[in-house]
Amino acid sequence: MKRFTVIACWLLGLQVCMAQGPSLDVKWDNILMVSKSTPTLQVVGNPMLRRGALMHDGSFGALKDLGADYVRYVPWFPYPKLVVAELDAPDSGKTSWDFSLIDPMTIDFFDATKGHSVIINFSTTPQWMYKTDKPVPYAKDPNQVDWYYGGGTQLRDTTMKELTDYYARLVSWYTKGGFTDEMGKYHKSGYHYDIPYWEVFNEPDYEHNNTPETYTKKYDAMVTAIHQVSPNTKFVGLALAFEKPEWFEYFLNPANHRPGIPLDMISYHCYANANDQQKFDAYEYTLFDKADAFLNTVSYIESIRKRLSPNTKTDIDELGTFVSDAMRNQPISQAYWNLSASVYAYFFIGLTKAGIDVIGESQLVGFPTQYPDVSMINYVNSKPNARFWVLKMIRDNIKAGGSLVSTGIDANTGDDITAQAFVNGASKKVLLLNKRNKTIMLKVPAAFNGAKVSIVDEVSADNPPTQSVINGGAIEMKPFAVCLVTLN
């Protein structure tokens, strides 16, 4: 009798929970817009991607398995010997060109993304090209992080020929089999890769303190030089750290460029970060609030782009979340990885609605001292984490060209659940995410009975999404879960 009473009370409690909980409503015949968005990621060059490093095999294996387009590859300044091909200025008839440490990682990237479009960004200019009070040294150990390889706001060669010749040679190394250096010596690589897109520098509003005017002049000069050696390459401009309207107003105005300079695509970044004194309990609110603020900014930037250069595409190619400094110095919890994955799914829905072309998650590999909180590979076991699996789930199921249909959450509990349904031919799918650190039972329409559900949550952890079938009119969404429902 007691057992019967307990079961009856449990069933009654479940019914009450479902009655008060959120409900999903999808109107499949009410098409809102057609998606043109492609989900992808960026790969930042660092020591863990070197051959023989602990994270190398798992990371490049995951990248190849993902099969994404528009993958952004950024050899970046904290490891100068891994990213700069001419670390010392030509002197006494000799040059310092050396790709021996750069090639292995770069070739592994090309191999892992073979058959897919990529965006290449060797963002770090040799430091000796900038005027500084004294020479800027670089770490001799290629694995030693060096945050001080930078500085200077004015190129020593104001004609920019020194700058553009460097990049033309670098591009030639990978696309034309080699190049002739400043002293007339030929350097043979044997490489003949295609570079579909080249992004001109990274966060120029931060690095070398560019203005919109100085950056635009560098962009034009770079495009002109690279086009001469790789005429089919298209270009991505800006890659801004901060969404400053004056940059978009100036750069997207064709009148501010040389005649014939293409404005193929622009890019900029967003990290939904926690405030440094916050405890993790507050992250679920702070991170999504900052994501909302960014989405509002995107709408404003899109209005500028449509007015000045409507044929220019947009790639938001760094999307991530940050923890506080205190948390970054401790083992990062599974709950955080699921929250960060949920934030990317939230970005994807919001940016798809905004008509953004490319939606890039940051970044494949991070580890202690190198932004561990944005890694998509677990730096302890080298397995893809929840951030990777959510990207793969979206990439495999939601394609550009599909339609967004009217989707709503009827709830008395606020905006804890975000949902968007997509139709592509006979395919019907719904992307769902739980914004809160609690389990929520989401009621679904009767027509969803028998639908397949893939879930990334605390249970799946560093493994592929768990699979189930809806049976009973509800989906259990654990804290920060991201779900993909596929209807029969």
3 occurs within a structural domain = no
Residue 135 DSSP label? P
pLDDT confidence tier of residue 329, bands split at 50, 70 and 90:
confident
153 lies in some domain: yes
Residues 357, 414: one domain?
no
Residue 404 pLDDT > 90, yes or no? yes
For the chain, what is the largest distance between any 2 Cα atoms, rounded to a whole number of angstroms?
Answer: 96
Q: What is the number of other CB atoms lying within 10 angstroms of the CB of residue 336?
A: 21
Domain boundary, last residue among 380, 397, 414: 397
d(CA 371, CA 33): 36
Residue 150, pLDDT score? 85
For the CA atoms of 109, 57, 269, 118, the dihedral, rounded to the nearest 10 degrees, stands at 20
Output phi, psi for 42, to 5 deg.
-115, 150
Band (pLDDT 50/70/90 cuts) for residue 369 is confident
Dihedral-angle region of residue 149 (phi above 0 means left; psi in -120 to 50 means alpha; beta otherwise): beta
Mean pLDDT score of the chain: 94
Give yes or no for residue 436 having a pLDDT over 60: yes
User: Which residues are CB-contacts of 137 (< 8 A; sequence separation ≥ 6)?
Assistant: none
Answer whether residue 6 is part of any domain. Answer: no
pTM: 0.94
Query: Residues 88-94: what's their mean pLDDT?
Result: 96
Q: Is residue 232 part of a domain?
A: yes
pLDDT given for residue 15 in this prediction: 43
| Percentage of the residues of the chain whose pLDDT score is greater than 90 | 90
- What pLDDT, in 10s, does the model give residues 169-198? 999 999 999 999 999 999 999 999 999 999
- Predicted local distance difference test score (pLDDT) of residue 302: 98
Residue type, 393: M
Q: Please spell the DSSP secondary structure of 21-88, one letter per residue.
A: S-EEEEEEEEEEEE---EEEEEEEE-GGGSTTSTTHHHHHHHHHHH--SSEEEEE-TTSHHHH-SB-S
Q: Where does residue 300 rank: exposed (0-12), middle (13-18), buried (19+ CB within 10 A)? A: exposed
The answer on 475 and 374 residing in a single domain is: no
Tell me how far apart the alpha carbons of residues 339 and 272 are, in angstroms, rounded to a whole number: 11
pLDDT single digits (tens) 469-481: 999 999 999 999 9
The answer to whether residue 12 sits within a structural domain is no
| Lookup: tokens for 218 | 């560098």
Domain match, 202 and 257 both: yes
376 and 323 share one domain: yes
DSSP assignments along 216-265, one per residue: HHHHHHHHHHHHHH-TT-EEEEEEESS--HHHHHHHT-GGGS-TT----E
The band of 13, judged by pLDDT with boundaries at 50, 70 and 90, is very low
Does 298 share its domain with 179? Answer: yes
Same-domain check for residues 24 and 42: no
| 355 and 212 in a common domain | yes
Question: 474 - beta bridge partners?
Answer: 443
- The C-alpha atoms of residue 37 and residue 398 are separated, in whole angstroms, by 9
3-state secondary structure of 298: helix
- Which is more confident, 246 or 414? 246
3-state secondary structure (DSSP) of residue 76 = coil
What is the CB-side half-sphere exposure of residue 26 using CA atoms within 13 A?
24
Confidence of residue 277 (pLDDT cuts 50, 70, 90): confident
| Token pair of 131 as six digits | 């005027």
Claim to verify: residue 40 and residue 167 sit in the same structural domain: yes
Structure tokens given for 92: 């006494």
Mean pLDDT within 394-408: 97
Q: For position 189, what pLDDT does the model report?
A: 98
pLDDT for 95 equals: 98
**pLDDT above 70: percentage of residues in the chain:** 95
Locate 196 and state its tokens. 């579909």
Give a yes or no: residue 13 inside a domain: no
Same domain, 366 and 419: no
- 444: CATH: 2.60.40.1180
Answer yes or no: do 436 and 306 share one domain: no
Mark whether 300 and 435 lie in a shared domain.
no
CATH number of the CATH domain containing 146: 3.20.20.80
Please report the pLDDT score of residue 328 as a whole number: 85
Query: Is 10 inside a domain boundary?
Result: no
Band (pLDDT 50/70/90 cuts) for residue 141 is very high
Q: Are residues 273 and 348 in the same domain?
A: yes
> Cα 296–25–337 angle (5° rounding)?
55
* Inter-residue contact 83 to 77 (CB < 8 Å): yes
In this prediction, residue 412 carries a pLDDT of: 67
pLDDT of 5 higher than 90: no
Q: Which two tokens stand for residue 436?
A: 């809160």
b/e sequence 367-382, b meaning 16+ C-beta within 10 Å: beebbbbbbbbbbeeb
* Choice among 308-317, 380-389, 406-415 with the minimum mean pLDDT: 406-415
pLDDT of the residue at 202 = 97
Predicted pLDDT at 63:
98
Helix (H, G, I), strand (E, B) or coil at 13: helix
Asked if residue 1 belongs to a domain, the reply is: no
Distance of CA 167 to the CA centre of its chain: 24
The residue range of the domain holding 373 is 36-397
Tell me the per-residue pLDDT of 190-236, one tens digit each, with 9 for 90 and over.
999 999 999 999 999 999 999 999 999 999 999 999 999 999 999 99
Q: Domain end: 337, 372, 397, which one?
A: 397
Q: Looking at residue 413, what is its pLDDT?
A: 59
Q: Cα 205 to the chain's mean position, in Å? A: 19
Last residue of a domain, one of 350, 365, 397: 397
The total number of structural domains that make up the chain: 2
On the question of pLDDT at 16 being above 60, the answer is no
* pLDDT, position 275: 86
Band of pLDDT at residue 18, cut at 50, 70 and 90: very low
